[in-house]
Structure 1
């Protein structure tokens, strides 16, 4: 930290410099005491399965593409994970990045953690309903499930502010 590194050499075509900066997972708090997961400069969002379809539009606006979730999206993050992100959020990166890394199939990095589905948090007007107020205590006996978080820019359907569940 607080230093400048200088590389003095003769550069050739296809030379690369790989810089890996130390980062840790951080939690920030938002509306209704929800939590967002951040690592370095990236904000993470839930990996949600996508179903795309072409929709016939009006003469005024034309046709468009629609995307809907194919996997659950209404997860809350565990309170114990929020309090100890270094032990409950597992970071991984791929060795090979695809030509377009900014989608759910080719994301170069991910974070795995556990969450619980919040049954009452449902779609409202074809969008996620308002984020439930945290903490949610009545889910103590519900099953924990593994969930994957991707950089926000890799997702189209986005849940990046999560309620907290006990």
Structure 2
């Protein structure tokens, strides 16, 4: 009986001490994409927030994300990845304005879809070398949460 209690306590202790580090299921696919398509080795970069922004998609989603990104001050730790081009000139113009304000790369041919990244909607990824702090697909209802995260964590 006491052996059972000791083993149970030990298990609880070990579980409580387990790392709480966020894992990014698609880190390897994203790192491979960034290296192959943009010549960026994310494992060698300091803390960076990557915001993958599809320019084609549902109008309210594209509009709300572009508007949110326009409200974020320039930061060396934020890199916007514009994916594709929009059929609506207004969104291309807004993206052009953002390109003057932020660090960015483009994936006009949408090559990201060839990699295992879980990319569909806008995607916010916060990585420092090989440590992934945040990896979240931004739905229409989460744009404000993304803004808060960006304001809190960009430098």
TM over 0.5, shorter chain = no
- TM-score between both structures, scaled by the size of structure 1: 0.21
- TM-score between both structures, scaled by the size of structure 2: 0.22
Higher percent of residues as strand:
1
Higher percent of residues as helix:
2
